[in-house]
Amino acid sequence: MCDAIFGRTLCEAILAPDVFFTIFFIGRLIGVTAIELFRPAREVSYRKVILYDLTVFIFFQYVIFPSAGYIDRWIPVRPHLPDTILAMPLLLCVLCYLLIADFGHYWIHRLMHHKYLWRIHKWHHAPTYMYWLAGSRSTIPQQVLVNLPYIFAYSFLDPSPWWMGLAIGMFSGLQNDWMHVNVTWRSNWLEWFVVTPRYHHIHHSDKPEHYMANLAPLFTIWDRLFGTYVDPETVKEELSFGIGEEVPLVRLVIGV
């Protein structure tokens, strides 16, 4: 159908992953920012930070993420699953992928908040403001570690339809936006299942009692099971963000 409408060359360009995700990012930039401006949780001076954060995002997209992906190729974490598991319905395979990847991400995240690995994660917590684009900071060592549970869990989706990689990429981008988005959002029932912005913003708080709080990336059950849960309803004071120290940018980016 695409070939018939646009011609093969143009169709291939439209469907190329780089082009697709560039268009997807522009949509996020316009759409998510509009939502934040409509219902902001806190005041953010976009004019002062947007160019820097866009530069950080581009650096992450074209330097950090590919570099981490290259390193991860040398780490054998992809199991060979039995055919009976691979024959499960696609929806069940996707659920297994999400649960296992998220469980692994929780423990990687928790590990990075201990003193021996905190430096590789510190850049992510450096912003003193919170909005969707502020969540794109990641060092190469951090990204290498975070990728591992997702690479491991992707075995449940292999083989998978051609569109699965695009769908996972879109979901990951929107999930990260959602966690950090600067909106007024209050939903006690939803937080029984998945992370919301106010839930994750507590984790970015600069108060010591929140450093190890609400570590879950997607499913809040991990925090509840392993003792890192802080109920957003109990946090009455206005949150402030940052790491409480001045660190040279180069050290933050490298993670040393």
Average the pLDDT over each of 22-26, 48-52, 178-182 and give the range with the smallest value: 22-26
Q: What are the distances in angstroms from CA 125 to CA 112, 157, 205?
A: 12, 32, 9
The token pair that represents 180 in the structure block: 């950090």
- Which helix or strand (DSSP H or E) is residue 195 part of? none
To which residue do tokens 């990687």 refer? 108
Residue 240 sits in which domain range? 2-254
Distance CA 159, CA 207 (A): 45
Q: Residues 44-83, buried b or exposed e (16+ Cβ, 10 A)?
A: bebeebeeebeebbeebeeebbeebeeebeeeeeeeeeee
Residue whose C-alpha is closest to residue 19's, from 6, 33, 32, 1: 6
pLDDT average, residue stretch 193-222: 96
The answer on pLDDT for 107 being more than 70 is yes
pLDDT average, residue stretch 40-59: 95
- For 151-185, the pLDDT digits (tens) are 999 999 988 888 898 899 999 999 999 999 999 87
Distance CA 114, CA 93 (A): 32
The answer on pLDDT for 253 being more than 90 is yes
Q: Residue 16's pLDDT is what?
A: 64
* Cβ neighbours for 5, distance < 8 A, ≥ 6 positions apart: 11
Q: Residue 58's pLDDT is what?
A: 95
* CB neighbour class for 101 (10 Å; exposed up to 12, middle 13-18, buried from 19): buried
Give strand pairing partners of 241: 205
Distance CA 200, CA 213 (A): 9
pLDDT average, residue stretch 44-56: 95
Q: Residue 48's pLDDT is what?
A: 94
Total domains present in the chain? 1
Alpha helical stretches, state H, the chain: 2-6, 8-15, 17-38, 46-59, 65-72, 83-86, 90-112, 118-121, 140-153, 164-180, 197-203, 221-226, 249-254
The answer on pLDDT for 217 being more than 80 is yes
Report whether the peptide linkage leading into residue 208 is cis, meaning its omega lies within 30 degrees of zero. Answer: no
Q: Residue 179's pLDDT is what?
A: 95
The SS3 call for residue 194 is strand
- For 8-21, the pLDDT digits (tens) are 444 444 456 778 88
